[in-house]
Amino acid sequence: MLHQYSYASLDFKYHPTSHLESFLQEVHKNYSSITHLYSIGKSVEGRELLVIAIGENPKKHRIGIPEVKYIGNIHGNEPIGREVLLHLIDYLVTNYGYNPNITQLMSSVRIHILPAMNPDGFENATVGRCTGTLGRYNSNQMDLNRNFPDPFGKSIAPLEPETEAVIRWIHSEPFVLSASLHGGAIVAAYPYDVNNQATGNNYSRSPDDDIFKYLAKIYSFNHKTMYKGNLCKMKFLDGVTNGAKWYTIAGGMQDYNYVWGQCYELTIELSCCKYPSASKLLHLWEQNRVSLILFIKQVHLGLKGRVLDEKGNPVSKAIVNIFGRSNLVPFQTNYLGEYYRLLVPGEYMLKIEAEGFNSLDKTVDVFDNISQYSAAVYDFVLQRAK
Ligand code: GEM
Ligand code: ZN
C-alpha cells in the first residue's frame, strides 16, 4: 500500500504559470540529485513548456531504464491534470528514500512530467466553467488534440508550436508509457482515437488492444470511482473506452505517440467538470494518487532488451516483430539497440529482423514481472548476412 504522502510544499489551488514555474524550480533546487528541469519549447505567446524529469539518473537515459511521461492541460480549460501532476511531483520527491515503493519505482524508471502543455489556453480559461471551450484552444485557436499527424491521414492542419515541441520531445527519448490528463468525464481512453471509416463512432482496434485495455483498467480500478463507469451521465463499462468508440477524433496526441513514438499513451479524464472549484482539488488528487503511481509501474509489463551484432555492438533500427501484432509503423530499436514491448502475460513468437543481418525467430514466455520492477529481459544477437 502507498501509505505515507506529503502535502509538504504545495497548496491545493490553481497555480498561474508564474507560480507553476517557481514550484518546479523550487523542487529542482531542493531535490537536484533526483530531478532535472528542462524546457521542450515555447507556446504561441512565448511561455516555456517546462518538464521535470524524476529518477535516480534524472538527466540521461540509461540502458534498460524505461522512460515514462505524464502530460497535463493540453486543453487549457481542463486544468485538473495540471494541478494533480504538481502534487504527483511533490509526492514523488518527498517520498523518495522514505517510501520503499516509491524509492524502488524511481530506481527503475525515469518519469517526465509536463504539467502544462497549453499554458496560453489556461490563462484564458475561467474557473467554475464545467463545460464549453473558453480556454480549450491554444492562442491560434487550434485544438492541440486535433493537431497531430494521425494514422489514417485525416488531420492535415499545420503544426502548432506546442505540437511541434511535443513531437520533438516524443522522439528525443525512448518513451515507453504515457498518459495525457483531461477533464470533462471520468474514464480511461485508449487508442485508436480515430477510426478508418468515413463517419460514425466505431471501435478502432489497434494491434496492441489487449495491453491498452489492461493499462486502462489498471488506472480505472485503482481510482476511487472510475471503474463504476456510470459517472458524469456517461456509461463506460469498467470505466474504460476505446477512444474512437466514444467518439472519433483525428489528430489526437495519443495515437501519434503510439504509431510514431512507439509509446503506449492513454487519455485519462479526471472529473465531470472541466474546470471545477479549487475546493475540489484535494479530493481529485486523492482519487487519482494510487492510479497515477501504479500506472507508471505497468511500464515493467512485457519484454525489453537489446539487439546486438556478433561483436556486441548495438543494432539500431532492428525490428522485433511479434506474431499477430502488425503495427502501422513497426517498432524499431533505438541507437542503443534497445526495444521495449508492453505485453500481457502469455507466450509470444518473435521474429527479429535488421538490414544486413540474418533474421532470428524466438518464442518467449512473458510473466507478470511487475513486482520485480523490470520487464522480462531478452537480448538478441544477430549474425551478419553473408
Ligand atoms: C477528448 S480526448 C479523450 C476522448 N477521446 C476520444 N477519441 N473521444 C477530446 O480531445 O475531444 C475529450 C477531451 O477533450 O477531454
Ligand atoms: Zn480535453
pLDDT digits (tens, 9 = 90+) for 160-196: 999 999 999 999 999 999 999 999 999 999 999 998 8
Task: Assign 156 a pLDDT band (cuts: 50, 70, 90).
Answer: confident
Q: Provide the grid cell at 56.
A: 535516480
**Fold designation for 7-300:** Aminopeptidase (3.40.630)
- Atom 7 (ligand 1): residue with closest C-alpha? 243
Å from CA of 156 to ligand 2 middle:
20
| Nearest residue to 263 (alpha-carbon basis) of 204, 321, 202, 327 | 327
Å from CA of 109 to ligand 1 middle:
28
pLDDT higher than 70, residue 97: yes
- Atom 3 (ligand 1): residue with closest C-alpha? 267
**Beta strands 338-341 and 346-353: pairing type?**
unpaired
- Across the range 248-253, mean pLDDT stands at 95
- Across the range 117-144, mean pLDDT stands at 97
Å from CA of 38 to ligand 1 middle:
28
pLDDT higher than 50, residue 5: no
Instruction: Tell me which ligand sits closest to the C-alpha of residue 187.
Output: 1
Å from CA of 167 to ligand 1 middle:
19
Which residues, including other chains, have CB under 8 Å from residue 46's CB and lie 6 or more apart?
A: none
Answer whether 0.85 is exceeded by the pTM: yes
Q: What is the pLDDT of residue 1?
A: 45
Task: Assign 155 a pLDDT band (cuts: 50, 70, 90).
Answer: confident
Q: What is the pLDDT of residue 201?
A: 84
Which residues, including other chains, have CB under 8 Å from residue 250's CB and lie 6 or more apart?
A: 146, 150, 152, 154, 155, 193, 194
Rounded CA-CA distance 208/259 in Å is: 11
Residue 193 alpha carbon, nearest atom of ligand 1: 7
Quick check: is 78 catalytic? no
Pocket of ligand 1 (CB under 6 A): 75, 78, 145, 182, 184, 189, 193, 243-244, 246-247, 249, 267, 269
The sign of the torsion formed by the CA atoms of 247, 253, 256, 258 equals negative
Would you list the domain boundaries of the chain?
Answer: 7-300, 303-381
| Nearest residue to 280 (alpha-carbon basis) of 22, 79, 57, 48 | 79
Residue 194 alpha carbon, nearest atom of ligand 1: 7
Q: What is the pLDDT of residue 2?
A: 44
Instruction: Report the 3 state secondary structure along the chain.
Output: CCCCCCCCCCCCCCCCHHHHHHHHHHHHHHCCCCEEEEEEEECCCCCEEEEEEECCCCCCCCCCCCEEEEEECCCCCCCHHHHHHHHHHHHHHHHCCCCHHHHHHHHHCEEEEECCCCHHHHHHCCCCCCCCCCCCCCCCCCCHHHCCCCCCCCCCCCCCHHHHHHHHHHCCCCEEEEEEEECCEEEEEECCCCCCCCCCCCCCCCCCHHHHHHHHHHHHHHCCCHHHCCCCCCCCHHHEEEHHHHCCCCCCHHHHHHHHHCCEEEEEEEECCCCCCHHHHHHHHHHHHHHHHHHHHHHHCCEEEEEEECCCCECCCCEEEECCECCCCCCECCCCCEEEECCCCEEEEEEEECCCECCEEEEEEECCCHHHCCCEECCEEECECC
Å from CA of 180 to ligand 1 middle:
10
Q: What is the pLDDT of residue 9?
A: 66
Determine which of 3-7, 97-101, 137-141, 263-267 has the lowest per-residue pLDDT on average.
Answer: 3-7
CATH code reported for the domain at 303-381: 2.60.40.1120
Task: Assign 96 a pLDDT band (cuts: 50, 70, 90).
Answer: very high
Tell me the best of 82, 267, 272, 274 to mutate to test the pocket of ligand 1, counting ligand atoms within 8 Å of each CB and taking the most: 267
- Across the range 25-38, mean pLDDT stands at 97
The per-residue b/e assignment along 353-369, b for 16 or more CB within 10 angstroms, e otherwise, is ebeebeebeeeeebeeb
- Across the range 290-300, mean pLDDT stands at 98
Instruction: Tell me which ligand sits closest to the C-alpha of residue 234.
Output: 1
The per-residue b/e assignment along 214-237, b for 16 or more CB within 10 angstroms, e otherwise, is bbbbbbbebbeebbebebeeeebe
Residue 244 alpha carbon, nearest atom of ligand 1: 7
Instruction: Tell me which ligand sits closest to the C-alpha of residue 77.
Output: 2
Q: What is the pLDDT of residue 199?
A: 78
Task: Assign 3 a pLDDT band (cuts: 50, 70, 90).
Answer: very low
Task: Assign 71 a pLDDT band (cuts: 50, 70, 90).
Answer: very high
pLDDT higher than 80, residue 332: yes
In tens, the pLDDT along 204-235 reads 999 999 999 999 999 999 999 999 999 999 99
Residue 269 alpha carbon, nearest atom of ligand 1: 15
